[in-house]
Copies of this chain bind each other. A is one copy, B any other.
Amino acid sequence: MDDRNIGLAHGNGGRKMRELIEAVFARQLGNPLLDLGADASALPAADGVLMVTTDGFTVQPLEFPGGDIGSLAVHGTVNDLAVSGATPLYITLNAFIEEGLDLALLQRLVTSLARAARESSVVVVAGDTKVVRRGEGSGLYLATTGIGIRPPQLRLGLHCILPGDSILVSGPVGDHGVAVLLAREQFGLDGDVRSDAASVLPLTRALSALPGLRFMRDPTRGGLATVLHDIAQADSLSVLVKEEAIPVRDSVRSLCDMLGYEPLYLACEGRVVAVVDPTQAEEALSRWRALPQGRDARIIGNVAAGQGRVLMETELGGWRPIEELEDDPLPRIC
Contact = CB atoms under 8 A, between A and B. Distances in A.
Interface residues of A, number: 80
A132 interface: yes
Given A40-B81, A96-B141, A126 B8 contact: no
Given A9-B326, A324-B15, A131 B331 contact: yes
Interface in A108-132: 125-132
Contact of A141 (B43, B92, B141): B141
Interface stretch (A45-53, A206-214, A311-319): A45-53
Contacts of A157: 35, 37-38
A302 interface: no
Nearest to A150: B42
Interface string A25-66: 000000000010111111101000111111111100000000
Interface of A: 8-9, 11-17, 35, 37-43, 45, 49-58, 80-81, 83-84, 86, 90, 92-96, 125-133, 135-138, 141, 143, 145-148, 150, 157-159, 217-218, 220-223, 226, 230, 234, 267, 324-329, 331-332
A40 B158 CA distance: 12
Contact of A55 (B55, B83, B128, B325): B128
Stoichiometry, copies per complex: 2
Contact of A13 (B15, B50, B128, B325): B325
Contacts of A324: 14-15
A13 B56 contact: no
A13 B221 contact: yes
Nearest to A148: B40
24 contacts: A8-B331, A9-B327, A11-B331, A12-B221, A12-B222, A12-B327, A13-B221, A13-B222, A14-B325, A16-B326, A37-B157, A37-B158, A40-B52, A43-B52, A52-B92, A52-B125, A53-B92, A54-B94, A56-B94, A57-B130, A58-B132, A92-B145, A94-B94, A94-B143
B41 A51 contact: yes
Contacts of A138: 132-133, 136
Given A39-B80, A40-B84, A42-B51, 16 more contacts: A8-B328, A9-B327, A12-B327, A13-B221, A15-B324, A15-B325, A16-B326, A39-B83, A41-B53, A54-B92, A54-B128, A56-B94, A57-B130, A58-B96, A96-B143, A136-B138
